[in-house]
Structures are given as structure tokens and as C-alpha cells.
């Protein structure tokens, strides 16, 4: 048994139901074979039934949590999820300015079910202008890409355009997820280092799933944490994304029922 492990750090929301947010991130990190750490930036009232409410943690407390972990543990990758407020987005962007490890930015704005928001509308510009430039990889679904760009994103061609445009924020790579498109294949579009790649998987007939976006981004972060190489060439990044998609697809196919509402992913 290994006597030491690299760490991956998740910064995001606390879902007391366990299906999404940093709890799901920790499961994904374990599946990738790394030790998971978690900073809570957003407190929520939610379960598999949906999101009822959310309250951001003050930015000073969020950064204090993260700095303490980074000071003492071998953090080899960082995954950023729901931050709640513009103040938290800006604080985390400043924190990440000095981080050499890969940074995976997921951009949850609204939940699959529920009326509350995971990010205020006034924080969108801070995501584009301050946080995405820190990203090794940003992962967005169609609605999130549309919100960030202010343009319709609904087809594979539009996903190509969106991925390219979002890399102009300074993000090294952008993955526009195609799970909400139609067709026999689920097509994700990856823009990385000036190229665009389509990643295809067989579309699954699924009931509503909770936390799938959190989990995919964290699988990538966990895989990258094992590399312990801040230079991270293109092939290594794409390989980590392909690995994460395979593991994620298998988990979607066996999503489990833990109560009322949506199903969740386990490994």
C-alpha cells in the first residue's frame, strides 16, 4: 500500500445530500487514486430532490481554508466548482494566480432541479475575466456556455465556436459538454492549444442525474494530480480528459437510486 499520496483540492459547494458539490468531488478524487481535500465556498439546502437554497461563505473564510491546505499538503491539482458570489470568484482567482498545479474550473450556475442559483448573475463577468484565465481546463454545459458568451449554443458547430471563444478568455482548454444535445452520440467539444477535438460516447437513456458535471471535472483533476508535472503537455491533458470521460460514462450507466428524485454517481 502506498505510504504517500498526492492531493487534489476541490473548492465548491456543500451538498448535504451528497450527490453533488465537494462531496461528489471527493468520491471522484478517490476513484482517480488521489487524496481529496475540500474547501466549502457555498452552503446549500439540497438533496436529490433539488436545490432549495444557497448561501455563499465569506470570501476571507474561503481563502483561509484553501491556504491552510495548500500550505501543508501536496496539492497537485485544484478543481473549482460553485462559488456563489462575485467576491468568492475574485478571491479564488487571486489565490490561483500563484498556483502552478493544473486548475480545472467547472462553472455551475443553476441546478438541474430547483429555483435557487449556484452563482449570482453579477458574478458571470468575474468568471470570464478573472477566473477562466487561471484555468488549465474549463468545463461548461450548453446553458453555461450560452450564459458566459451571451450567444446561443445548441449544436455541435455552435459548441466548436463556443469552445474557441472561451479559450480567448485565457483558459488553456475548454470542454463544451454535449450531453443535452440530441442524436445517438453524446459529443463533447474540446478546444485545446489552438485545436478542436470532438469526444464522442454512446448516448445513454438516463433518468435525471445529480452531480454529473461536478464529477467529470473532478475526475480530470484527480487524474492530473497523479502526474505531478506542472508543465503538462497537450497529450497528457487530453489523455486525462479521455480517461475521465470513460470512467464517467461507466458511472452514468450504473447511476444509483438513493432516495426520491435524481440518481447519483458512485464508483
Rounded mean pLDDT of 108-129? 88
Q: What is the DSSP letter of 119?
A: B
75-79, 98-102, 107-111, 205-209 — which one is most confidently predicted on average? 75-79
- Percent over 90 (pLDDT), the chain: 87
Q: What's residue 127's pLDDT?
A: 97
Rounded mean pLDDT of 123-130? 96
Task: Tell which wins on pLDDT, 86 or 114.
Answer: 86
How many angstroms from the chain centroid is the CA of residue 200?
19
Domain limits of the chain? Answer: 7-264
Intra-chain end-to-end CA distance of the chain, in Å: 20
Name the band, by pLDDT with cuts 50, 70 and 90, for residue 230.
low
CATH topology for 7-264 is 3.40.1190
129-159 pLDDT, tens digit each: 999 999 999 999 999 999 999 999 999 999 9
The CA R_g of the chain, rounded to the nearest whole Å, is 17
Residue 182 has pLDDT above 80, yes or no: no
Amino acid at each position: 500500500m502506498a505510504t504517500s499520496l498526492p492531493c487534489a483540492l476541490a473548492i465548491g459547494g456543500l451538498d448535504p445530500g451528497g450527490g453533488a458539490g465537494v462531496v461528489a468531488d471527493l468520491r471522484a478524487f478517490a476513484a482517480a487514486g488521489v487524496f481529496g481535500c475540500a474547501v466549502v465556498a457555498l452552503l446549500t439546502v439540497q438533496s436529490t430532490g433539488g436545490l432549495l437554497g444557497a448561501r455563499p461563505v465569506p470570501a476571507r473564510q474561503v481563502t483561509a481554508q484553501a491556504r491552510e491546505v495548500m500550505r501543508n499538503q501536496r496539492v497537485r491539482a485544484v478543481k473549482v466548482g460553485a462559488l456563489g458570489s462575485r467576491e468568492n470568484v475574485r478571491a479564488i482567482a487571486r489565490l490561483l494566480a500563484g498556483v502552478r498545479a493544473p486548475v480545472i474550473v467547472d462553472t455551475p450556475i443553476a441546478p438541474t432541479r430547483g429555483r435557487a442559483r449556484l452563482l449570482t448573475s453579477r458574478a458571470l463577468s468575474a468568471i470570464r475575466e478573472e477566473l477562466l484565465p487561471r484555468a488549465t481546463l474549463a468545463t461548461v454545459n450548453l446553458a453555461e456556455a450560452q450564459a458566459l458568451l451571451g450567444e446561443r449554443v445548441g449544436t455541435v458547430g455552435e459548441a466548436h465556436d463556443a469552445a474557441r471563444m472561451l479559450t480567448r478568455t485565457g483558459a488553456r482548454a475548454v470542454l463544451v459538454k454535449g450531453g443535452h444535445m440530441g442524436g445517438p452520440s453524446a459529443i463533447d467539444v474540446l478546444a485545446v492549444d489552438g485545436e478542436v477535438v470532438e469526444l464522442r460516447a454512446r448516448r445513454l437513456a438516463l433518468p435525471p442525474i445529480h452531480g454529473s458535471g461536478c464529477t467529470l471535472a473532478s475526475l480530470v483533476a484527480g487524474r492530473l494530480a497523479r502526474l505531478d508535472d506542472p508543465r503538462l503537455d497537450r497529450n497528457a491533458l487530453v489523455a486525462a480528459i479521455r480517461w475521465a470521460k470513460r470512467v464517467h460514462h461507466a458511472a452514468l450507466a450504473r447511476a444509483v437510486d438513493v432516495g426520491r428524485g435524481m440518481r447519483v454517481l458512485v464508483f
